[in-house]
Chains A and B, each alone.
Chain A
Amino acid sequence: MEFITQPWPWYVAGPIIAFIMFLLYYFGERFGVSSNLETFCTIGGAGKFIDYFKIDWKKNTWNLIFVLGAILGGFIATHWLSSSEIVDLNPQTVQDLAAIGVKNAGDSYLPDEIFSVDAMLSFKGFLILILGGVLVGFGARWAGGCTSGHAIVGLSNLELPSLISVIGFFIGGLIMIWLILPLIF
């Protein structure tokens, strides 16, 4: 049990993710989470205004069920399979974050400066959360995939479009972390 409740190392997580991809294809489907966002739009009635969303969303039900499972998995792991909330970070990371105004880095999974209810209810905090979400959703659909569809499936399948997308993920990520984030807090 000790092994389960400790944080899992990369060499456990990576192979399990590959196995998840394997299972989804073995069951006749695919691995890609961001397409669910389009399904949400269709269910919400976006097809009435935009033809792009006029799809038979019921064929994506399996993926919605996968997402439901992911939510349950997050609940189960947090409540029954974890002994600590601490994320063991490189001291340099903690120091770098303190320098840009993010305190107590690693005391829990997420920084309060972005994810606490107080932050969410502030104008700036709400803007950060919604803008981050819009960028992720818009970018993923424009690129035709996110970390699962491009970085895992696409790279495994030696797809050039996925390599270009992952390079894009890094260009955007590096600009955010090195240039923009230090100005936010």
Chain B
Amino acid sequence: MKYIKFLFVGIIFGIVMTKAEIISWYRIYEMFKFQSFHMYGVIGSAVVLGTVIMFLFKKGIVKTFDGNQILVAPKKKGFARNLLGGTLFGLGWALVGACPGPMFVLLGKGVISILVVVFGATLGAFLYGAFKNKLPH
């Protein structure tokens, strides 16, 4: 039962991704074409509010539901991993118009072909694990 809250948060996530058309391939295309403000508005407003939320976490003004300090793990440092990994991610994101969250939402929408993308993404994660030691980080 302790997991039920995550199911509800996931449902809200799936609904907002669908209703704001963030799962639409076209919305990603137009973003990279700079032909609409929509995606910039979505990510930008989330980040602006997110900055305030992170501040509240860091200052300890907001704690977890059971009273613990909220610690946001720092991201892994490294120029090559972030730039090169990010670039490969961007190539894929623009091609299939879906990043990892929206992929699953599209599955719920009933898009059968997205299963191939999810399989590919899992294979991609596996290949990263397999070749990790040979890559610059």
Contacts and interface: CB of A to CB of B under 8 A. Distances in A.
Contact of B20 (A7, A37, A67, A162): A7
- Chain A interface residue count: which class? 35 or more
Nearest to B76: A144
Of A30, A49, A157, most buried by chain B (CB within 10 Å of CB) is A157
Interface of B: 3, 5-33, 35-51, 53-54, 57, 62, 64-66, 68, 70, 72-79, 81-101, 103-114, 116-130, 132, 135
A40 B123 CA distance: 10
B127 A138 contact: yes
A32 B108 CA distance: 19
B125 to A, nearest CB: 4
A135 B92 contact: yes
B73 to A, nearest CB: 7
Interface string A118-148: 0110000110111111111111111111111
A14 B47 CA distance: 8
28 contacts: A13-B45, A14-B41, A17-B46, A28-B68, A34-B99, A37-B124, A41-B122, A50-B130, A66-B9, A69-B6, A70-B14, A75-B14, A77-B109, A78-B110, A81-B19, A89-B26, A110-B26, A114-B25, A117-B113, A129-B114, A134-B123, A137-B123, A140-B125, A144-B82, A156-B46, A165-B75, A165-B85, A172-B93
